[in-house]
Structure formats: structure tokens, C-alpha cells
Amino acid sequence: MNDIRNNWTKEEIAAIYHRPLLQLILEAADMHRRHHTFGEVQVSSLLSIKTGGCPEDCAYCPQAARYHTGVKVQALMQVEEVVEKAQEAKAGGASRFCMGAAWREVRDNRDFDRVLDMVKEVNKLDMEVCCTLGMLTESQAARLAEAGLYAYNHNIDTSEEYYNNIIGTRDFEDRIGTLLHVRKAGITVCSGGIIGMGETNEDRIGMLHTLATLPQHPESVPINALVPVEGTPLGESKRVPFYDLVRMIATVRLVMPKAAARLSAGRLELSLAEQGMCFLAGANSIFAGDKLLTTPNPEFNSDLEMFELLGLKPKAAFADKRENIPAGKSTADA
Ligand code: SAM
Ligand code: DTB
Ligand code: SF4
């Protein structure tokens, strides 16, 4: 059976999303076992290397300069500080280190040169290095690849139709353009979105349809439950129903079987049993550490307990073979 398809229709994805819940989870668990080692979870650590003051108007984001959210603006960190944080994350069991900057786009300036140095240095720690820096040109993506970047996170966030209700300062096509540049540079793609922003089920299905019909599926698909932050236009939003989150994860697993389905923002609100259900439904990646970019995340020790209790194991770095091997590594390491 060929599980990997890029010709999904929205109707097919909708039929999956709306299956009876336990049947959906069972099918997703089955698919998960066919393509992944069950119980293995990729652990990423996030660091905000440049915080706040962003010119964009993303309605969910505490780092947009135009909203008053109490996030303190911080200029780009120094390379040494970042390497220290990466070392700590590695010691805590993270195999991937993701550096986030509150930029609209990358500019070819000294800040970008410094980020390239960060990528080179973290790469030396034998961790999968990831960045999320906003929009990229083709040549910027190539420079990041050359520096040893393993993954680039760039979320499409929601459906094409709903996009401009959430973000007015750029278009959906801009996001897709950056994803193509990342792919072309041979960097693995991490792209997903947020639920709980007032979108319909159709929008969620549309978002997954866009990702699942790209010429190549993203290697990683983060599903974030909106963290409502006071001061943002979505600050008063109600928490997204848990079962919607499970449906999203299971649908990711079924339409993009090989992707890492990342249970991302919003984990702090979930019980252990709820997280367990997400892992059963195909989630196999999390952000660990007590902070996401600016909002809290479960404590390191409570995640350790969860891994112990549910019998989960952290996945080793570079466990997935990839065509574009980072500088200094051979396929034998992959
Ligand atoms: N500025 C870059 C960009 O927008 O691509 C990178 C950083 S941005 C904060 C990364 C992602 O975090 C966003 O695309 C969004 O999906 C997610 N995010 C931001 N604020 C969030 C919130 N309050 N709740 C859930 N996810 C959020
Ligand atoms: C992703 O999809 N979620 C992460 C990561 N990619 C960069 C970010 C979540 C941010 C949540 C809000 C905050 O902490 O500022
Ligand atoms: Fe800026 Fe990214 Fe936040 Fe949008 S999501 S406001 S681009 S930091």
C-alpha cells in the first residue's frame, strides 16, 4: 500500500478528520507504527534569540510590536550565550535546538552573519539545528544550508482563505515561497499551524491539504494550540477543545505518514492522559524546557516523569536519514 500521497483532495482529508474519534486514533496509531518506532519522541528545545518588537501584525503573537503584551524587546543574542543554552538543552536530552527570531524576514546584514555563526557552532554539538527567522530568499536559505542548518520552521498557520483574518502584513503565498526556498536549499521543512483562532474545521482541513499536497511533505508538522496572550487581538480566545487537537494530530499522521507530528504550544494546559492520547494518535515530537519563545511550557522534570510513565523514549539526533547530510557528517551518522 502506498501511504505517501501528494494528491489528497480536501474531501478525503475532511472524511479522515471527521471519522469517529476512536477509529481515527486507531488508524493513526496503525499508520504511526508502519512508519515510525512507536514510543520514540523527538525532543526539541526552543530559544528566542531575538525577542519582541516585530513589525508584523500576526493576531496571536505576543512579539508583535503593535500589541501591548509586556514582552520585553531583546536584541539578537551573542553567539556564546546561545551555544551555552544549546549545551544545556543537549544535557537535558534535546536532540534538536531551534532558534527563533521575531523578524518579518531575514536581511543580509551583520545580524544574519551572527545567526550563521550560531548555526555553525550549534551544529558542532551534534544536535539538529533549526531556525525560525521569518521569510527567506533563495540565497539566504542556501547560506543557512551551507552553515549546516538541518531544519527551518515556517508555519502556514491556517488555511489560505482564513489567513488574512489573522495576518494582514503578508500573504499566504509569501509563506509558501519561503518553504520552496528552504526545500530547494536542501534544508528539511518544519511547517504547521495553530488551532483555536476562530477558524472552522474546513480551515483546518484546508491548512493540512496545503501541506499534504506540497511536492514533498514537510519533515515536521507542528500543531500549536493557541496560547491566548493578553494584549493580542486573540488574547480573549477560549481554549481549543482537546478533542480537536487530537483530531488534528491524527489527521497529520494519516495524510503525511512520515512527518514528525509535533505537539507544540498549549501542552501546559493538557493533562498527562490527554498528552498520552496525542502520542497514541501519532504525535512524536515535542518542545521541552520550561519556556517556548515567550510563554511557559511544562517543566523539564514533569516531562521526564511523563516519558517514564508513558514509556516514551527520546529520539537520537539525525536518526532520520536525509539526502542533504550536514557538513562534517556521513550517512553512517544519520
Ligand atoms: N517570526 C517568525 C515567523 O513568524 O515565522 C518566527 C517566530 S514565530 C513566533 C513562530 C511561530 O510561533 C508562528 O508561526 C506561530 O505558528 C507560533 N506562535 C506564535 N505565537 C503563538 C501563540 N500565542 N500560540 C501558539 N502559537 C504561536
Ligand atoms: C512552532 O510551531 N511553535 C513554536 C515554534 N514553532 C517556533 C513557537 C510557539 C510559540 C508560542 C508563543 C510564545 O511562546 O511566544
Ligand atoms: Fe513577528 Fe513571527 Fe510574531 Fe508574526 S509570528 S508577529 S512574524 S514574531
Ligand 3 geometric centre to CA of 62 (Å): 8
Per DSSP, the three-state class of 309 is helix
Report the C-alpha gap between 110 and 40 in whole angstroms. Answer: 39
Report percent pLDDT > 70 for the chain.
96
Q: Tell me, what's the pLDDT at 282?
A: 98
Catalytic residue among 96, 98, 204, 267: 98
Residue with cell 550517512: 331
Residue 154 lies in a domain: yes
Task: Inform me whether the pLDDT recorded for 48 exceeds 80.
Answer: yes
Residue with cell 477543545: 241
**Residues linked to residue 96 through DSSP beta bridges, in sequence order:** 44, 128
Over its C-alpha atoms, the chain yields an Rg (Å, rounded) of 18
Q: Which ligand is nearest to the CA of 260?
A: 2
Residue 288 lies in a domain: yes
Catalytic residue among 96, 131, 170, 190: 190
The pTM of this model reads: 0.95
11 CB burial (10 A radius; 0-12, 13-18, 19+): exposed
Residue 141 lies in a domain: yes
98 annotated active-site: yes
**Residues linked to residue 152 through DSSP beta bridges, in sequence order:** 131, 189
How large is the average pLDDT for residues 161-184?
Answer: 98
Q: Tell me, what's the pLDDT at 322?
A: 47
Report the C-alpha gap between 4 and 18 in whole angstroms. Answer: 20
Report the C-alpha gap between 228 and 85 in whole angstroms. Answer: 27
Instruction: Report the chain's terminal Cα–Cα distance, integer Å.
Output: 26
Catalytic residue among 143, 253, 262, 267: 262
- 316 — pLDDT class (breaks 50, 70, 90): confident
Task: Inform me whether the pLDDT recorded for 145 exceeds 90.
Answer: yes
- 323 — pLDDT class (breaks 50, 70, 90): very low
Residue 59 lies in a domain: yes
Ligand 3 geometric centre to CA of 58 (Å): 6
Ligand 2 geometric centre to CA of 332 (Å): 32
Domain that holds residue 243: 10-319
Task: Inform me whether the pLDDT recorded for 318 exceeds 90.
Answer: no
Q: Which ligand is nearest to the CA of 133?
A: 1
Q: In whole angstroms, how far apart are CA 207 and each of 6, 80, 193, 274?
A: 14, 38, 8, 23
58 annotated active-site: yes
- 321 — pLDDT class (breaks 50, 70, 90): low
**Residues linked to residue 132 through DSSP beta bridges, in sequence order:** 100
- HSE-up of 170 (CA within 13 Å, CB side)? 21
Q: In whole angstroms, how far apart are CA 122 and each of 128, 130, 157, 312?
A: 8, 10, 27, 26
CA angle 78, 80, 81 (to 5 degrees): 70
Q: Which of 208, 224, 204 is nearest to 286 (CA)?
A: 224
- What's the gap between Cα 265 and its chain centre? 9
How large is the average pLDDT for residues 203-207?
Answer: 98
86-98 pLDDT, tens digit each = 999 999 889 999 9
Ligand 2 surroundings by CB, under 6 angstroms = 46, 62, 100, 132, 153, 155, 192, 222, 224, 227, 264-265, 292-295
User: Which sign, positive or negative, has the C-alpha torsion 105, 108, 109, 112?
Assistant: positive
Task: Inform me whether the pLDDT recorded for 329 exceeds 90.
Answer: no
Residue 330 lies in a domain: no
Q: Tell me, what's the pLDDT at 326?
A: 46
Query: Of how many residues is the chain composed?
Result: 334
Task: Inform me whether the pLDDT recorded for 218 exceeds 80.
Answer: yes
Q: Which of 178, 161, 192, 307 is nearest to 259 (CA)?
A: 192
More confident residue, 169 or 300: 169
**Residues linked to residue 45 through DSSP beta bridges, in sequence order:** 97, 288
Pocket test for ligand 1, best of 49, 60, 197, 236 (most atoms within 8 A of CB): 60
Residue 328 lies in a domain: no
Q: Indicate which atom in ligand 2 lies nearest the CA of residue 194.
A: 2
More confident residue, 82 or 319: 82
Q: Indicate which atom in ligand 3 lies nearest the CA of residue 57.
A: 6
Residue 5 lies in a domain: no
CATH number where 162 lies: 3.20.20.70
* Structural contact between residues 3 and 31, judged by C-beta atoms closer than 8 angstroms: yes
Q: Indicate which atom in ligand 2 lies nearest the CA of residue 264.
A: 3
Pocket test for ligand 2, best of 221, 224, 232, 286 (most atoms within 8 A of CB): 224
Summary mean pLDDT of the chain = 94
Ligand 2 geometric centre to CA of 302 (Å): 20
Q: Which of 113, 80, 85 is nearest to 99 (CA)?
A: 85
Pocket test for ligand 2, best of 264, 269, 291, 295 (most atoms within 8 A of CB): 264
Q: In which region does residue 74 sit, left (phi positive, over 0), alpha (psi from -120 to 50) or beta (all else)?
A: beta
Return the C-alpha cell found at 34: 508502519
* Structural contact between residues 111 and 53, judged by C-beta atoms closer than 8 angstroms: no
* Structural contact between residues 184 and 138, judged by C-beta atoms closer than 8 angstroms: yes
The total number of structural domains in the chain stands at: 1
278 annotated active-site: no
- What's the gap between Cα 168 and its chain centre? 22
Residue 32 lies in a domain: yes
- 300 — pLDDT class (breaks 50, 70, 90): confident
Q: Note the helical H segments in 213-299.
A: 242-255, 272-280
